[in-house]
Structure 1
Amino acid sequence: MAAKTRLNTPSRRAFLQSSLAGAALLGALPARGWAQDAKPLKVAGIYTVPVEQQWVSRIHLAALAAQDRGDVSYTYSENTANTDYPRVMREYAEGGYDLIVGEIFGVEQEAREVAADYPDVAFLLGSSFKPDAEIGNLSVFDNYIQDASYLSGIIAGSMSKSGNIGMVGGFPIPEVNRLMHAFMAGAREMNPDITFQVAFIGSWFDPPKAKETAYAMIENGADMLYAERFGVSDAAKEKGVLAIGNVIDTQTDYPDTVVASALWHFEPTLDHAIEQIRAGSFIAADYGMFSFMKEGGCSLAPFGTFEGKIPQEALDKVNAQTAAIKDGSFVVEINDAEPKSS
């Protein structure tokens, strides 16, 4: 998840209340003159952090891929302060853009007010709230990659010899909490007695603080770390313990440290929005389901240098559960409550 600044952390409403099926009840708006031919859609991204950051990088890469295949013409603004976010939204809306993507976790109310002022522009924004029937041109999304996080937990549980795993997150918000809970559930499947040290550093980007927090967990017996924030894998590398990555694959940087990573793929989310815009049927919907594994929105990264080093029992479990997740016979629980240490 990207480095995000929040004014207040809202409680998440039940996910099922905003499935795409439920969103259809909001009613599709009539075609607003959006491009319905081969002409690329004009797409603008607005990000509060650099595009290299974990969470935002996945949106950025998906937009670049859509541009490479000729579906969109893409531009973006990065390092946009929350206080400046509404102004930048208005500038792009006034500039004739068909679709604006970004993350409004710290400016929910202001951003929705801007979207309401430009009903002929489609907005696809990362949000902790749900679609609003009164703002039919604003759809929301989030990184529901609990499926891949659960599978990475299975690997972690099988590789931890001490049965003590340290978990370092930014803030205890739904976007982080659900991934941690899924990871913990996977680890417990391999070792029901496993214990967890859970801490939040109170920042979306503070590698030194994340590193120091991870050091303390290692001193307290952790031999495996869940690296939700940058800096954790550095501590693991320096202390000779293992780590599990989040959202992006960092094994190239930590070949002897990062065993597996839960990857987020934003392409299904963005591609669906593009299709809906071209069809003139873009509605206020929750795109969260497009991050699910069965929709191609997340996956477990290749094991790379750890091929042949992971217990076969864990690999068999991962393969079986992956198939069950994809065919719908197994559903990973979405738990947005704050996780606690064992």
Structure 2
Amino acid sequence: MGSLSVALGFAVLPQRAVAADPARIGILIPGSKSDKGWMESGYDGLVAAQKQHGDAIKVQMIENINYADMEQALTQLASKNGLVIGVGGQTQAAVYKIAKRFPKVKFSIVGGNAGESAPNVAGYDVKQAEIAYVAGAAAAMLSKTGAVSYVGGMELPSIVNAGKEFGMGAKSINPNIKFFENYTGDFDNVAKAKEATLAAIAQGADVHYHILNLGLRGLEQAAKEKSTHIIGSYANYCGSDPLYVAYSITGVGYQVRYALDQFVGGSWAAGYKPFGLAMGPEASDMIICGATPEMKAKLDAIKADILAGKIKVLEG
């Protein structure tokens, strides 16, 4: 018997052939999807997109890989999917390299920077430096000692620029504030993040900001031991942990959903796209847990000045 059945002279395809094939999505989350940071935010965006699209999409995810294995992971995803999403700026170099080998596959980089371009690559800039400035202002408002700190992972331009803008934002509130900036060279190194935070605490810092993945565990350990506080990143979890006094929203999950929605809807486009405050509170925002009306008004004014160009911030 063939795969066609005949009724009243008409060929009727089996139901499985009539249904549209699901859009195939590959996603590389190089860190842990439960890091309470960038990677978890990206994973949460994926979960939300899966709930929204249901059987219309089929997702293949690779998580928690070494930097040296990134090209191999992207090759595996590109060979089986129509869209491949790299979560994190650390995927950018490998994405552009692999994209040349798979010109018919679309690639989106969550945390991508301007500069490079390819006809099948989209780079979504979360504008971390922009919201880091606002986070610095929040930290200065919350600090009781007049000293704040920042710990970044790899010294990528966007991570360094965010650190510098955090310091500038803090100084916009208190010109005399002490600011301590450190980089561990690894987003996931718990011991180095703890060491850097303890060093800042020893010099008076009582509010800490970060761009880390699993390394955040070290920052948390230091803050808990010394009774200091953290401004979290990526999502608003106010009330879930007394260590955290505020959260910056950097829309990693929002961008994952954006890439997937654009691909499924047929409107995906290559090129650099900035997100940040201009894309609304899901993409970028700053929340002080239990903020006073004065604090909220000041943060709103700073965000408005950034959007209006009155406050200039670095790229990243």
TM-score (norm 2): 0.78
290, 294, 298: which one aligns with 2:284: 298
76, 80, 88: which one aligns with 2:65: 80
Aligned partner of 1:75: which letter? Q
In the other structure, the counterpart of 1:269 is 255
Aligned partner of 1:219: which letter? A
Distance 1:99 1:139 in 2: 11
Distance 1:106 1:145 in 2: 14
In the other structure, the counterpart of 1:240 is 227
State the shift of 1:166 in Å: 2.2
Q: What does the per-residue CA deviation read over 1:60-99, in whole Å, with 9 as the maximum and x for residues that have no partner?
A: 221221111116332201123333333332333332x221
In the other structure, the counterpart of 2:312 is 333
Pair 1:144–1:39, CA change in 2 (3 A): farther
Pair 1:322–1:180, CA change in 2 (3 A): same
State the shift of 1:100 in Å: 0.6
87, 97, 100: which one aligns with 2:84: 100
| Farther-moved stretch of structure 1 (51-60 vs 189-198) | 51-60
Aligned partner of 2:33: which letter? V
Distance 1:52 1:180 in 2: 24
In the other structure, the counterpart of 1:183 is 166
Q: What does the per-residue CA deviation read over 1:183-237, in whole Å, with 9 as the maximum and x for residues that have no partner?
A: 2232222211112111222221122221222122212122222233312233222
In the other structure, the counterpart of 1:49 is 31
Q: Is the 8 A contact 1:66 1:72 kept in 2?
A: no
In the other structure, the counterpart of 1:228 is 211
In the other structure, the counterpart of 2:8 is none
Distance 1:210 1:283 in 2: 37
State the shift of 1:101 in Å: 0.4
In the other structure, the counterpart of 2:199 is 216
Aligned partner of 1:318: which letter? L
Distance 2:249 2:301 in 1: 19
Q: Is the 8 A contact 1:268 1:291 kept in 2?
A: no
Q: Is the 8 A contact 1:164 1:194 kept in 2?
A: yes
State the shift of 1:273 in Å: 3.3
99, 103, 107: which one aligns with 1:115: 99
Name the % identity. 24
Instruction: Find the residue that maps to 1:102 and give its secondary structure.
Output: strand
Instruction: Find the residue that maps to 1:69 and give its secondary structure.
Output: helix
Pair 1:174–1:332, CA change in 2 (3 A): farther
Pair 1:45–1:240, CA change in 2 (3 A): same
Distance 1:205 1:119 in 2: 32
State the shift of 1:286 in Å: 0.9
In the other structure, the counterpart of 2:145 is 162
Task: Show structure 1 runs of 5+ residues with no match.
Answer: 1-36, 338-342
Pair 1:215–1:273, CA change in 2 (3 A): closer
Aligned partner of 1:321: which letter? I
Distance 2:251 2:93 in 1: 27
Pair 1:116–1:331, CA change in 2 (3 A): farther
In the other structure, the counterpart of 2:14 is none
Matched residue pairs, number?
289
State the shift of 1:249 in Å: 4.4
Distance 1:271 1:103 in 2: 12
- The structure whose residues are more often strand, as a share, is 2
